[in-house]
Copies of this chain bind each other. A is one copy, B any other.
C-alpha cells in the first residue's frame, strides 16, 4: 500500500485477507457479501461477540497491536469458558481515519494471535467513527456436551486457572504511567493487553468440569454470576487465591483486592468433583488452583479471610 489513506475496499484487501490460521474450513472468505464456512459433522455452533471501545476498555493511544490482542483474546476466552474448539472469527472495526501504519500493526498482531489459537478471519466490516473493535468468535461443540454457568453442584471444588489480579494491576501501571519500566510492569501490563484464552483447558473441562465462566468482570462478580446461574452458594478462601510474584511485589497491599475485584484476567473459574482434580492437574496446560467449594443453595458468594465490601464486586459497564 503506497496510499496512506486507503479506501475501505483497499483496507479489506490489503490487511485482512488470509488473516489467521488456514484450515480449509472457509469455503468463501472476505470479499463477497457474506462468508461461507464448512461445519464439522454433528457439531453445534458456539459463538460470542465482544466490543472494546477506546477510552472505556483500553486507554486512548494504546498501541494497535495491543488493541488487537486484547480484542481477540478476550473474545476467545468466552469460547474457552464453554469448552468449545475455536474455529473462526469476524472483525467489525470502526476507526476515526484510515491509517496504513496503524492497520498494519493491528493486522499483524491479530494474525499472529489468530494463528497461535487456530482461528481464521472470515468476514468483517470497516467503518469510520470513534475507535471501536467488535470481534465475534465461533467454535464447535459436540452435540451432547457444553460447559455452562448453570451446572455447579453442592460439594464440588471451586477452581481457577492461572493467577488473578494481574490485568487489573497492569491497567493501574498503565494509568499511572510508571516511568521505570521493568520486567514486573511489563508482565502485568502484558496480562492486561494480551489475554491468554484458556481454550485447551476449556476443552479438557468438557470431560471433567461442571460449571465454568471466564473472569472478565472480576472474581467476585463472575463467581456471583456462576452462583446465581447454578443456584448454589460459593465459599472462597482468600488465602488460596493464586497471586503472581509480580503482583505481590508491585502491589503488596492491594494484591488480594485486585485479585477479587479487578476484571480482565480472562482466567477460567470452574467447578468439578474432587475426584477429577488430580487428572485435570496433570493434563492442564496452565496451573489450576482450588480456591474454595460449592456450598448449598442461597446464591451467596462468601470470602473467608477478606473483609468483603459489597460495593466493590467488580466492573459493571454503565455503573
Binding site for B on A (CB under 8 A): 5-9, 11, 27-28, 31-39, 43-57, 78-79, 81-82, 84, 90-92, 94, 97-98, 122-130, 132, 134, 136-139, 141, 143, 146, 148-150, 212-214, 229, 316-319
Determine whether the beta carbon of B123 is less than 8 Å from that of A36: no
Nearest CB on B from A161, distance (A): 14
Tell me whether A35 and B48 are in contact in the complex, defined as CB-CB below 8 angstroms, given that A127-B56, A317-B127 are known contacts. yes
Pick the contact of A130: B11, B27, B37, B129 (CB < 8 A): B129
Complex CA–CA separation, A81 to B319 (angstroms): 41
Besides A7-B318, A50-B125, A127-B317, 19 more A-B contacts (Cβ < 8 Å) are A7-B319, A11-B318, A32-B148, A33-B48, A33-B213, A33-B214, A34-B46, A34-B79, A36-B82, A47-B123, A49-B123, A49-B125, A49-B134, A49-B136, A51-B132, A52-B127, A53-B128, A53-B129, A92-B134
B residues within 8 A CB of A5?
318
Complex CA–CA separation, A53 to B9 (angstroms): 18
Determine whether the beta carbon of B31 is less than 8 Å from that of A229: yes
Q: List 12 A-B contacts (CB under 8 A).
A: A7-B317, A8-B317, A34-B79, A34-B81, A35-B47, A36-B141, A47-B122, A49-B92, A51-B134, A52-B127, A125-B134, A136-B136
